[in-house]
Structure 1
Amino acid sequence: MSDLERIVVVGASLAGLRAAQAIRDEGFTGDLSLVGAEPHLPYNRPPLSKNVLTGDDDVTLPGDDRLGATWVGGRRAVRLATTERTVVLDDGRELPYDGLVIATGARPRRLPEDQMALAGVHVLRTIDDAKALRSALREEPGQVVVVGGGFIGGEVASTVRALGKDVTLIDSRELPMDGVVGETVAGWLAAHHRRNGVELISGLRVTALEPKATDATRVGAVRLSDGRSIPADLVVAALGVEPDTDWLDGSGLELDGGVRTDARLFALGESRIVAAGDVVRWPHGLFEDELVRIEHWANANEQGTLAGRNLLRGPADAEPYAAVPGLGTRVHGVRVQWAGFPRLADQSMIVAGSVEDSKFAVAFARRGTLVGAATVAFPRELNRLRAAIASAEAVPVSA
């Protein structure tokens, strides 16, 4: 858009950084401000649950030094005034904009605050969270309990076991991550955790954290919905995340499980506001315009770039975001990956390898068309299936 002179990017993680880079790469020479709630420059989050916990602090994201942007770090956006085109920060400052990128990501779900206040209870979302958890692990706790068997919880449990610690993983679902990777891979994953020394407790909720009998300020046990108490010297609450949209209340933007956008990532009804990353919920053209929101590095990386480019080009020349998501994790040394949206399927089948060999691929279809894939130790198959999803191939799909 030719009349853009001041662009504000709210959210200084990967999606925000990629949007800012794309804005400059598109030739924008006006004022560019990058607002981040953390005091740190943009950094890479995937290592937080793996390398950082074991002592490697390299989370560098290159490229922020060439933006020519005003860095506003350690400040949160608290309000968006779309009529006045201003972003209000928590210190009272108002940043005017002609174009806005919303990339505030997501925040971790938490246990009740009185329980989170107990010493030994942690969440993992930021570099500071990771360093605090690492320090606690180095104090050699007797028993680590991870609450939540999803993406982060599984990686933390894996890392804690690699450090030689006893770990219990509690998940409210019958199989960890079955809503993401399907029952076959989730069943293998449950057995994989147990084979690697994790005590996996499935199908039960945590109802409370209990303090130590000898120190009421520290966590001592986790109470389960069946009445049991699991001893705990350290608890990691890995309960998933929710989009960080509170600051947008009253802005007039449509908020429905994230910032609602059109397929081109423009906030609904807005031509000067785009959104990207964990915070955005948009209609995916490859899946009958199903509304989706994705919490993963690869999506933030690609979506942030397109959002910045689309903002500069304007709605008339913008491109829809229709990439097939490809996601992955590493648990106890084995790569588990998925693509598309397995949750949309009405049928699934193993199309390569075998569960017994811990190397296999599962294809997911809806009404006969491939919509998702999940693999264990089979990246080549994941890539092949991801391409087939993009081509809307019919099933069965075999190598």
Structure 2
Amino acid sequence: MRKQLPAGKGSIALDAPAVHVSEASQQSAAFDVVVIGAGLGGLLSAAELLRRGKRVCVIERLPHCGGRFTAKTFQGVQVSTGAVHMVPFGSSGVLSRMLSRLNVPHRFFDADVFGSFHVHGKQYRSRGLLGVFKFLGLRQFFWFTRLGYLMFLHPVPPGELRLPFATWLARHIDVRRNPQLVAFFERISRFALSLELSQVSTAEVIETTKNMFSYGAPAIVEGGCGNLTQQLEQYIRNHSCELRLSCDVLQILQEDGRVIGVRVRNRASGEETQINAPLVVSDIGPRATNALLRGHRITQAEVLKSDDDVLSSTDRALTEAVGFKVHILSDVSLIPHRGIMYCLDTQRIAGMVQPTNSDPSLAPPGKHLLISHQVIQSNNIEEERALALADLHMLF
């Protein structure tokens, strides 16, 4: 049985009742829960389960925690591994409340705007959603408000909720006559979810937008994303979590259709062991998790591939969020606020942030750090990089 743990963003929980374990298996380590992946979702899941008194083992293939939510210091710059030093919904959001419940030290710098929008060669600053009138114009703004009515004030039929948002959008507006309006939704989806509108359901777009109204825009993490995962790592270590770094999970073990644990290999020694647990939480993505259930490991290169001829029918049904970032160090400030600049007239870049507006320590003194984000739309990384650089030259 699969279910989503509220504690771990992107985590997949595989639950099983107690089962008979062979004598050979009893010689292996046993826990209440095994967590695969020590990224933000895995660490949060482990921390919450430890708070509830569970015996937890966290397995991470890298020699450090954090995954896509940490950073490396390069010439005085905090270069993030995946995130842009931001968390969704800021200091009033679910993540902040969870960290407070765990007594994990943290500070989030809330955005001072809904965002800004680079379109028509200019940057339009918007404190709220109605500020999009500045660049949409009267006709497209009418359709913007019409969509808002259909999404939030009018019952959406269940059949439409299941539609890809791109399909739902095309049913209600002329997408060719409303390019900036389509780009508005498209860039937010790409930046926030690393997904195209064709890959996200109408229900998810509506729910995400409601959360934005309730909790506000994303916020910058004080000290960067690496500081937050370091605090979580310290928490789980202090609460007797067994943390196994530099270990590969080879397989999620099953018996009679139920999960019973994992098979693990130490990357340094090559030693393989079995870890028994009736609950496995995976924070490594849907395709990699599905592969482990079949006894197969997916490499990072395979995750980036999207060709139908290299994907199984099951893999094609699983949506993987894959993004690409560029870090820029500038002598002058290029984004005049603490929020996101969405780029509606670019080829690839969906949005940019300047996290040093909130925390100057993320870059050397007197410097400004900017981070762009885009969805990878092809298997050619060099082409994606070239298009990102072309966008940056156009923007600045």
Q: So what's the TM-score if we normalise by structure 2?
A: 0.29
Which structure would you say has the larger RCO, counting Cα contacts within 8 Å and 6 or more residues apart?
2
Q: So what's the TM-score if we normalise by structure 1?
A: 0.29
Which structure shows the higher strand fraction? 1
